[in-house]
Amino acid sequence: MPCLWWSRSELRVSVKMRHDLIVVGAGTAGCMAAKTAAEGGLGVLLIDSKPRDEIGDTACGNVVSAGDLDRVGIRHPKDICRVLKGVKVFSPDRKTVFTINLKHFVLNRRAFGQRLLSDAKRAGVEFSDRTKALAERAMKCPTDKTSIALLVLAVIAIAAQIPFRFNR
């Protein structure tokens, strides 16, 4: 797995790259941030520690409202598992109930995540899978035979991976 850090360094590295923006985490927020920045003319690198075909696998909820998708400019998914006309919300003791009458979609999260990643790449985002962000400044990188040290210089970094912690 490549290890990545994104500030100037005296370390010897295999690859040097320059980008305006680095986004760590290719979930919904990361893909949308990367795509929006690329559409605005920035050179964007989106990284995720998962392999590309696992992007979209998440423990996050699978239900999203049609209005939320409209507000952020995501076209309605083709890979909807089910359309809900509303939801009933129950209090913990089940004595209080209220209904929200809004159109919601139950999504195939993997297909939805893959579509958002494809949209970001079509907007000009460079994507690197199996890449781990180690630190905001130079540090020692694992030296196993499969690791490649990358030095990436960027003006801005967005941590869109949850939970996010630099591995120091």
- 90-119 per-position pLDDT tens digit: 999 989 999 988 888 888 888 889 999 999
Q: Which of 70-84, 89-103, 148-162 has the lowest mean pLDDT?
A: 148-162
Give the pLDDT band (50/70/90) at residue 17. Answer: low
Per-residue pLDDT at 138 exceeds 50: no
Q: Which of 45-54, 126-135, 138-147 has the lowest mean pLDDT?
A: 138-147
Give me the mean pLDDT over the 75-83 stretch: 80
Nearest C-alpha neighbor of 9 from the set 132, 143, 157, 138: 138
Question: What percentage of the chain reaches a pLDDT higher than 90?
Answer: 26
Assign 3-state DSSP to the chain and report helix, strand, coil percentages, each to 5: 20, 35, 45
In CATH, the number for domain 1-58+110-168 is 3.50.50.60
Give the pLDDT band (50/70/90) at residue 64. Answer: confident
**Is the model more confident about 162 or about 20?**
20
Range with the largest mean pLDDT of 28-42, 66-80, 121-135, 141-155: 28-42
Give me the mean pLDDT over the 123-146 stretch: 66
Could you give the CA distance from residue 142 to residue 56 in angstroms, rounded to a whole number? 27
Give the pLDDT band (50/70/90) at residue 126. Answer: very high
Whether the pTM exceeds 0.75: the reply is no
Residue 97's CB: how many other CB atoms inside 10 A?
Answer: 9
- Range(s) of the chain covered by CATH 3.50.50.60: 1-58+110-168
**pLDDT on residue 13:** 44
Residue 40's CB: how many other CB atoms inside 10 A?
Answer: 11
Residue 60's CB: how many other CB atoms inside 10 A?
Answer: 13
**pLDDT on residue 16:** 53
**pLDDT on residue 120:** 96
